[in-house]
Structure 1
């Protein structure tokens, strides 16, 4: 199993210096990838714009969305947008999709009611794959209608390995039926093991197979005691995932990060997106410390 380690910025207001310092530092230190999240009504920068900026500064690291909201977007327009970014960055884009935040403001922004999201997602994702394959798409569905529509450009590899997030039973089953990989967030090793097994079971039931190295997690970490703001954010995210859990089982201190990642590897996960719970004052120093703490795990096991 090959372990890959990337990083994501803390969910806080970002100026242009943060994605620049993070992207250049990840490339310099030998990390695998840069990932950004989406929150239209929050402090995060637009993920596609941010990744385009980061791609222009780098030549090696992969760039990914963790995760991009699909319901509320036109599959045809999104297919062309992501393919364009992939062509410009030389095939380094890793798209991961989700239903969107469970937040009334986010659902208003995307024009999608909460109860509609899953059905829209299941109609849209196969359409994206068809557009990326270069098909002339004819489709008459409940939400989208196309007649002989072809979208250009195509991605560098004429398609993507599409990853999905989520930890509910429905989300895990959907991942197994539709996705090429699973990227969970803020999970314990035990939850990672159960989720991986559920995704594999759903994939087998659909006559599909997901590669064993296509299971990963967004892993928060901390440096000493959390601020009240960081602890509140951690608690809110955990409530959305599956409920309370010991802090060390989800967000280890930097000194415990290596041992935590090893537990996740034992649970069958191998792709990791590390995220500091509190925004670093100096990204160059932060990346050097994380490199020393965990990057030696990024090798064939």
Structure 2
């Protein structure tokens, strides 16, 4: 199993953040052997959230080795023909470094309403969009007649750099998300889950995939983990615990990696034993401390744990 560890830059903790500060942080990542850069998606929010495709296109022009991912792109809020064109262009220009994870949008998100999409339609739209985008990435003169999307004799160029298009990983921990990953996904990227839930989720995905006469590759199971280095897990929780979106049914320490380097490595190792091999680590705390936190992660976690390329 190939272990790879990347970084997520999601909701920025300060609305006063400058473009220069963002660029400075990004430019420091590639020299740290960080595998990939992932960005979250929130169309409408009072918090500072950068539009992911635009942002990743900017990043692709600055970084030459790191993979680029979304975690997760709210698929039903976007028209699949335009999105297929955008993702194909980005994958082509980055020479196959794009790895989008997609989802339906969180229950608290207002993105679907802002885009004029009925929440009751989001699952059906997502399934159709996946099928249509894959056809547009691999075929010419595509005709598609669905409930929500239809095209007639459409061809998109350029083709993605990756044959048949970038792999589509599915986000979410609901049973419906596990079923969709098994039926349609190339991988699974999940957040706010314990190692035990990851192990159970992988088992369910494999079962659903077998029922659909397909398989999800063994090393295509990933976890997004908030992290913060401090003298202890308890002090880290005191310092940044309030920045973590809580789950009413699971303590925060069950799905975060807080504390000393040894404690953070140990937490990642529990997810590896559960079957995960791809990790998206999200720095917590004030932005001014992110670079130091990422540098510690690179030295103490990525260097000893990541599979060499």
What TM-score results when the alignment is normalised by the length of structure 2? Answer: 0.90
| Aligned position for 1:299 | 307
Partner Cα separation in structure 2 for residue 268 and residue 281 of structure 1? 34
1:234 pairs with 2:241: no
1:149 pairs with 2:154: yes
1:84 pairs with 2:89: yes
Partner Cα separation in structure 1 for residue 74 and residue 282 of structure 2? 20
Mark the CA change 1:144 to 1:38 in structure 2 (over 3 Å): closer, same or farther. same
Partner Cα separation in structure 1 for residue 299 and residue 109 of structure 2? 41
**Which segments of 5 or more consecutive residues in structure 2 lack a partner in the other structure?**
230-234
Please tell me the root mean square deviation across aligned C-alpha atoms, in Å. Answer: 1.8
- List structure 1 segments (4+ residues) > 3 angstroms apart after TM superposition: 223-228, 230-233
**Which segments of 5 or more consecutive residues in structure 1 lack a partner in the other structure?**
none
2:226–2:257 CA contact under 8 A, matched in 1: yes
1:101–1:107 CA contact under 8 A, matched in 2: no
Number of positions where the alignment pairs a residue of Structure 1 with one of Structure 2 = 294
| Aligned position for 2:2 | 2
What secondary structure sits across from 2:2 in the alignment? coil
Partner Cα separation in structure 1 for residue 280 and residue 95 of structure 2? 21
Partner Cα separation in structure 2 for residue 235 and residue 281 of structure 1? 21
What TM-score results when the alignment is normalised by the length of structure 1? Answer: 0.92
Q: How far did residue 73 of structure 1 move? A: 1.5
1:220–1:274 CA contact under 8 A, matched in 2: yes
1:221 pairs with 2:231: no
Map of 1:57-206 to 2, 5 A cutoff? 57-103=62-108, 105-158=110-163, 159-206=165-212
What secondary structure sits across from 1:50 in the alignment? helix
Partner Cα separation in structure 2 for residue 58 and residue 81 of structure 1? 19
Moved more, 124-133 or 248-257: 248-257
Could you report, residue by residue, the CA deviation over 1:266-287 in whole angstroms, capped at 9, with x for unpaired residues? 0000000000222331444222
1:75–1:128 CA contact under 8 A, matched in 2: yes
What secondary structure sits across from 2:113 in the alignment? helix
Mark the CA change 1:29 to 1:204 in structure 2 (over 3 Å): closer, same or farther. same
Match of 2:295 among 277, 288, 293: 288
Mark the CA change 1:192 to 1:34 in structure 2 (over 3 Å): closer, same or farther. same
| Aligned position for 1:251 | 256
Mark the CA change 1:254 to 1:87 in structure 2 (over 3 Å): closer, same or farther. farther
Q: How far did residue 161 of structure 1 move? A: 1.3
Q: How far did residue 232 of structure 1 move? A: 4.5
What secondary structure sits across from 1:95 in the alignment? strand
2:77–2:111 CA contact under 8 A, matched in 1: no
1:17 pairs with 2:20: yes
What secondary structure sits across from 2:135 in the alignment? helix
